[in-house]
Amino acid sequence: ILFRSTDAIESLSQVNTIAFDKTGTLTVGKPKLESFHVLAPFETSQLLAQLALIEQRSEHPLAVAIVEAAKEKQLRSSHEVVEFNAIAGLGVVGKLSNGDYIQIGSAKY
């Protein structure tokens, strides 16, 4: 369980039931990328490699899962990250050496 604020922890005093679904995070202790759907005109392998390149600079558990998924598939990008910025609570943004601008984050980002 990840807590983003002390208010979230304090609100647990009002909880009387917690339900968990078995997604693997309870037994493995870390998230894992299980599926990855890409819309045209993007190509799955290339996009995952680029996302992993950006996410290597993030310490977020979901970023680590993306990087691990790319490693498992032996995907690499020939580009470099030239700009990177983490926006607390929202996500990350980066620019690659080929000019691609990549934004990764929550739905509200």
Question: What is the phi-psi region of residue 29: left when phi exceeds 0, alpha when psi lies from -120 to 50, beta otherwise?
Answer: left
For residue 100, indicate whether it is catalytic: no
Q: What is the dihedral of CA 101, 86, 51, 62, to 10 degrees?
A: -150
Of 13, 15, 21, 99, which one is the catalytic site residue?
Answer: 21
Helices (H) and strands (E) in the chain, counts: 4, 3
**Could you give the 3-state DSSP secondary structure of residue 105?**
strand
CA–CA separation, 109 and 68 (whole Å)? 23
Residue with tokens 């996500």: 91
Q: Which residues carry out catalysis?
A: 21
